[in-house]
Amino acid sequence: MCGIVGAVAERNITAILIEGLKRLEYRGYDSAGIAVIDNDGQLSRLRRSGKVAELDQAQTLEPLSGRLGIAHTRWATHGAPCERNAHPHFSSHELAVVHNGIIENHQALREQLKDLGYLFTSDTDTEVIVHLLHHKLHELGDLATALKAAVQELHGAYGLAVISASQPDRLLAARSGSPLVIGLGLGENFLASDPLALRQVTDRFVYLEEGDIAEIRRESVRIWDLNGQDVQRETVQHQDGAEAADKGEYRHFMLKEIHEQPKVVQRTLEGRLGDAQVLVEAFGPQAAELFAKVRNVQIIACGTSYHAGMVARYWLEGLTGIPCQVEVASEFRYRKVAVQPDSLFVTISQSGETADTLAALRNAKGAGYLASLAICNVATSSLVRESDLTLLTNAGPEIGVASTKAFTTQLVGLLLLTLALGQVHKRLAPGLEAELVEELRRLPSRLGEVLSMEKAVEKVAELFAEKHHTLFLGRGVQYPVAMEGALKLKEISYIHAEAYPAGELKHGPLALVDSDMPVVTVAPNDELLEKLKSNLQEVRARGGQLIVFAAEQAGLEDGEGTHVVSMPHCHEVLAPIYYTLPLQLLSYYVAVLRGTDVDQPRNLAKSVTVE
């Protein structure tokens, strides 16, 4: 959350900064700002509330020009999203800072700095950083030395970029808890929260590690580690193109990403399937040895990834008999946990920078877990770097704030994990692994068939245009799928949506059902189908409108108050992956009908790097 871009070059860098912010807008979009050292050596700033487009427009009217600058797109944590609170923040027109994260001791620091005579002009926690740095700079003289001293006094999380009018040839950065990457150019260098922001200028990157401080000049980069030692960090070259940040033929990134699912699922499977079994080494060279010791699995995640974890629990316990617990990271990290013996600690996160999930992983170290495994989409992320084993989901950059392809590729990764553990422990029913490997090979083309139902789903979406509340029902492994469907709908259409296990209806939520409350359900042809049908009767008997995504063989038909969208046949185990797709399309088309901002829904942001 919050996007940072910085640049030091021989040319005017404002267009590069604004383009970078546009590419980072998924991380926050309530206000944006840019600061440069202008051609007279002065700090100049432009800030706007609202999206980067507002800043861009303002910039064409009041052009800024400079060869050193920083920029920021904000997702407010402290202080309302308005121009006054937008970054960059200044101290005495000498220093400018942009920040991603939260400074927990900002109140105490603010009081100390006020006593020293500093005037505060915003309500943000960030402003204490710039005044503290200003104070240190005047004590110590050198910007890098001052930054090293200042961060010692900060409690909390930060990714920082700093420029000073008195030292106009260098860009400073500091990382603790929020990601930062340096982009290497020819005679120019850059900084950003995510390499995506810099794809138009470079494909060579250096990732900062926790506690690193960097000094970035046109011709050089210097990095100090946590202990103040000079360090060399590896330079990585990214092959994947800049086109990921374009919508192509699609109206929204979310629709593009929904349609990418056959292709990216194919990528998730690549190199991970043998003739009739999952390749255990896909989880790392020491995976086979570690998996043999696993007697329990603890899954930790947030939001959509948590729903993926819930599906995995049904798979792990149902197919392998290995016990599995799933918990949201923000709860897990703050409670005392009784660790089961020989537990594999599995984290799931699209970005690998999710603050709560990362903190849970760090707490788990030394708590008695056997090993940690990250199911993650970003190879260079903190979660991956700090875990013993990794399975990359290879979904490519996901820009739409509402997660789609990240979820389905996580499910594929978790099914591979289930089969790998089942294989190592010889706990799978005879022939099942070969059967599922075959089904996984067919999955990409089958998902393509599911997506061809788009028109039918778009039609059903019309039923929701005027509604305010919805129930999603599922039974068994389809219950987390219903939860994910409800989350999608509320995220992007702002319709209140709740998911229930269908068997729970009569214990309360049935009281809500009337003709104004659409009830959405997924009904694959599984062993719980007959029970689900009875639950649907309970809804119809109260006048509820049913929207059912049902297997052709389920014997459910359109009728008064019942809209059935027929789904192609699929293997029962893979059904959660198939049935997710129509629910994604449904929320997408409902949101389009209601005219909401599909890719950047209100109050939200992607890559939740704050608590």
Contact residues for ligand HGA (CB under 6 A)? 1-2, 28, 74-79, 99-102, 124-126, 609-610
Torsion of CA 42, 13, 179, 354, to 10 degrees: 110
Active site residues: 2, 606
Nearer to ligand HGA, 125 or 356 (CB): 125
Peptide bond into 88 cis (omega under 30): yes
Nearer to ligand HGA, 154 or 428 (CB): 154
* Two tokens, residue 565: 């969208």
User: What DSSP string describes 237-269?
Assistant: E--S-GGGGS-TTSSSHHHHHHHTHHHHHHHHH
Nearer to ligand HGA, 439 or 611 (CB): 611
Nearer to ligand HGA, 74 or 136 (CB): 74
CB burial of 237-250 (b: ≥16 within 10 Å; e: otherwise) equals ebeeeeebbebeee
Whose CB is nearest to ligand HGA?
A: 1
Q: How far is the CB of 99 from ligand HGA (least distance, A)?
A: 5
Backbone angles phi, psi at 491, to 5 degrees: -60, -45
Q: How far is the CB of 26 from ligand HGA (least distance, A)?
A: 12
Q: Specify the amino acid at residue 333.
A: R
**Measured between alpha carbons, how far is 92 from 138 in angstroms, rounded to an integer?**
12
**Measured between alpha carbons, how far is 77 from 610 in angstroms, rounded to an integer?**
8
User: What DSSP string describes 588-606?
Assistant: HHHHHHHT--SSS-TT--S
Coil, helix or strand at residue 130: helix
Q: How far is the CB of 49 from ligand HGA (least distance, A)?
A: 12
How many CA atoms lie less than 13 Å away from 466 in the CB half-sphere?
3
Q: How far is the CB of 203 from ligand HGA (least distance, A)?
A: 26
Nearer to ligand HGA, 123 or 449 (CB): 123
Nearer to ligand HGA, 55 or 610 (CB): 610
Q: How far is the CB of 547 from ligand HGA (least distance, A)?
A: 36
Contact 342, 292 (CB under 8 A): no
Contact 517, 471 (CB under 8 A): yes
**Measured between alpha carbons, how far is 181 from 176 in angstroms, rounded to an integer?**
12
Contact 191, 5 (CB under 8 A): yes
Q: How far is the CB of 399 from ligand HGA (least distance, A)?
A: 17
Q: How far is the CB of 245 from ligand HGA (least distance, A)?
A: 20
Tell me how crowded residue 209 is: count the other CB atoms within 10 A of its CB. Answer: 15
Contact 450, 586 (CB under 8 A): no
Q: Specify the amino acid at residue 224.
A: W
Nearer to ligand HGA, 76 or 402 (CB): 76
Q: How many residues does the chain have?
A: 611
